[in-house]
Structure formats: structure tokens, C-alpha cells
Structure 1
Amino acid sequence: MLKRFRSAFSAFHHKEHYISHEQEIAGKKYVIREISTDDIKDLLQLEREVYAGETPWPRSAFLTELCSRYNHLYLCVLYQNKIVAFVGGRVFFDDAHITHIAVHPDFQKSGIASFLLQEIEAFAYRQRCQTLSLEVRISNIDAKRLYRKSGYEAKKRLANYYRKGNEDALYMVKRVE
């Protein structure tokens, strides 16, 4: 019971600050830093480029997450001062839920998504989470392959999870080591 209470309390715990730094991934140098509310316009543009003109998350969703009282981490990856990828996750009880991950089509399959998943996993470990979780479109073969390769296991299918197209999602979980 006490362990459960501590985990729940950690969800409202202090905000961890991520130190901005340069990172080499597949021979290219990137800057990794926390997302701020000033980045939302660029995140929406990146979503349009990743999701064929759509923006799965509106500005208000980004604002809600970035200003949340729950312990969270939202990171972006910059290449030549342009955001080319981002990831977000929030802690709730003993789970770190990955809320969003996107990589510009020109930078996909370059190791950036794997790097971002590792950063979120390290965050989850520091927050004493037991699991990482996420949802992925059933049709997103590449993402499902990446998640399985990263140690995520499919737990259940969520019918009509995505409004657009009423597509099902796969709920996936990974134990934090």
C-alpha cells in the first residue's frame, strides 16, 4: 500500500529538468532539449509533415500536457535549429505513458525514435516507474516494429481508438528495468 501511495505521490512530485545537450545519432549532430510552449507552432507543423497534413494534437492538447501538474517530460530534437522530432511522456502512479512521438519523414529510420524512447525510459526509471506504455495505430507497421524491437509487448487491442477512420490501436507495455 505504501509503495502504491509513493508512486501516486510521485505523479505530482517535483518537475525534473532536462539538460539541453548535443547528441550524435547516426553520424549527425542534433540538439536535444525540453519542449516549451513557444515550440507549439513548430510541433504542429511537424505533425502536418508526419501525418499527411493532419494535426492529431491541437494546440490546446500540447498546452495541457506541457502545463500539467503530473510529472512529465517532453523533448524535441533539433537539426540545424529546426525541430525534426519530439516525444512526450507523463507519469501516473507507477506507469510512464508515452503520449506522443513523431519524427519528420526525412529523418525517419535514422535512430532518432530509438534514442527518444531510451530518453523516456531513463526518465521513467528515475521516476521509479514499473512500466512504460503507449498506444499505436494497428496500421502503423514501422512503429509497431520499432516498439517490439525496443522491448514493448502488445497487451490489448483498443477498438475504434482513433477518431479519424475509427482505427483500432494496439496498447503496448514495457517493464522498466
Structure 2
Amino acid sequence: MTSNTSNFYFPIRELSSNKVKLTPFDPTKHAKPYFNGSANHPELYKYMSTGPYRTEEHFVTEYLTNRVSKDPSMACFAIIDKTKPGSPADPEGEVAGMVSYMSASPQHMSAEVGYIVILPPFQRTHVTTHAVGLILQYALDSPDQGGLGLRRMQWLADPPNQASMNCARRMGFQFEGILRWNRVVVDAEARGKGHNGRVGPG
């Protein structure tokens, strides 16, 4: 099984800064280091509607195959930290986590940044800022600039998840409201979602 993004509504390509690379998530390369780095940290999924995963195969089947590959509004990237030495997963660095486009709409020219998982050794480093910056820049840049030319990007976060809320603000999103009973999360607790939006230029 190769990259899960071929069904995505919009064209997807590799994105790169001087410190981080986003590459379409390839289970044959990225699943093992991602699972190994997250397996002992179920707290990574506290505010998510997927995970934790029992095995690498469970992750591939449950998230990449049954969710991402079957939903054309989703595309998943592996996050590569280029400041680390090359690895079996990528010659330019180590797998530092994953990030996805969600709820993409060609009709409304919009999408959501979601399912951001930064593995513990890479938290509180440059990785999150660079990864989110890359996925936003590609979405909001015009086609002439090499981007998708979307009009709007959004970010949903549980209000108790202050790290996510703070990251959204830091990346230029504006708080727009609370979506109550929006999604079921893994602990089945009823919570609202803080709704943040960022518009493209023009």
C-alpha cells in the first residue's frame, strides 16, 4: 500500500521548509516509525476521534485505510524533521508525527487542519510551527504561487486542549465560536469544539 492521498479532492505534493518536510503518508515507509513513536503515549489521542492503536497494522487499517483513503476530503502527511539524520523512513530526516487536511470542499474552496500528532521527542520544538505553516501556505497560496488557492482554512480544537488553541492563535487563526456536540472523541466525553478560522488573501 502506498500514499493514501490519491483520492483527495485537490492535488497534493511534497512540501518543505529548511527544517521540516511534509510528504504524503506512505504506510510502507512511515507507519512503523510513527507507531513506534506513539504506541506508549495514548495521551496523544486524548482529544481525537481516532486512536490509540494496538498495533501498526491497526493504525494503518483504522486510520489510513478506513478513514483517510475512503474520504476524498482528507489527505494525510508524514512530518519529517530535517534537522535529524536521515532514517529508513526518509533520507532527509526522522518521522516526527503526522498532520492532515480534513473537510476539504472544492465547492467552498476551504479545508481544515486536523489530526495533528507530534511525537513526544519533537514537541516544543520547531516541528509544529513549520508543519502547520507548510500545510497552511500550500492551501492558501494562489495557484500562481504554487498553492491551492483556497479561500478559507479552519481549525477545530477542544477548549480544554489549550496547546491546540494556543497553536491556532499563534498560526493566525481567529476564534469564531463553540460547536457543541460536534465530534465523538476516544473517551466518549461530550465536549464542544472551539472553532477558529483563517481566510486566504484576496
Calculate the TM-score normalised by the size of structure 1.
Answer: 0.72
CA distance in 1, matches of 2:12, 2:68: 15
Structure 1 moving runs of 4+ over 6 Å: none
CA distance in 2, matches of 1:132, 1:48: 30
Task: Count residues with an aligned counterpart.
Answer: 160
Find 1:17's aligned residue among 13, 23, 35: 13
1:152 aligns with 2:148: no
Equivalent pair of 2:14/2:23 in contact (CA under 8 Å): yes
Structure-to-structure mapping, 1:59-78, within 5 angstroms:
59=60, 60-63=62-65, 64-66=67-69, 68-70=71-73, 72=75, 74-78=77-81
Q: Shift of the alpha carbon at 1:43?
A: 3.4
Does the C-alpha gap of structure 1 residues 53 and 12 become closer, same or farther in structure 2, counting only changes over 3 Å? closer
Which consecutive residues of structure 2, in runs of 5 or more, have no partner in the other structure?
Answer: 1-7, 52-58, 88-93, 141-146
CA distance in 1, matches of 2:39, 2:167: 22
CA distance in 2, matches of 1:88, 1:33: 11
Q: Shift of the alpha carbon at 1:108?
A: 1.3
Aligned to 1:122, what secondary structure does the other structure show? helix
Find 2:154's aligned residue among 125, 133, 157: 133
CA distance in 2, matches of 1:53, 1:151: 23
Does the C-alpha gap of structure 1 residues 70 and 16 become closer, same or farther in structure 2, counting only changes over 3 Å? same
Equivalent pair of 2:157/2:165 in contact (CA under 8 Å): yes
Q: Shift of the alpha carbon at 1:114?
A: 0.9
Which consecutive residues of structure 1, in runs of 5 or more, have no partner in the other structure?
Answer: 1-10, 25-29
Does the C-alpha gap of structure 1 residues 72 and 131 become closer, same or farther in structure 2, counting only changes over 3 Å? same
1:84 aligns with 2:99: no
CA distance in 2, matches of 1:71, 1:51: 23
**Cα RMSD (Å) of the superposition?**
2.9
1:104 aligns with 2:119: yes
Equivalent pair of 2:129/2:171 in contact (CA under 8 Å): yes
Aligned to 1:166, what secondary structure does the other structure show? coil
* One-letter amino acid of the structure 2 residue matched with residue 151 of structure 1: G
Q: Shift of the alpha carbon at 1:116?
A: 0.9
Aligned to 1:23, what secondary structure does the other structure show? coil
Name whichever structure is richer in helix by fraction.
Answer: 1
Calculate the TM-score normalised by the size of structure 2.
Answer: 0.65
Name whichever structure is richer in strand by fraction.
Answer: 1
1:43 aligns with 2:34: yes
CA distance in 2, matches of 1:122, 1:41: 28
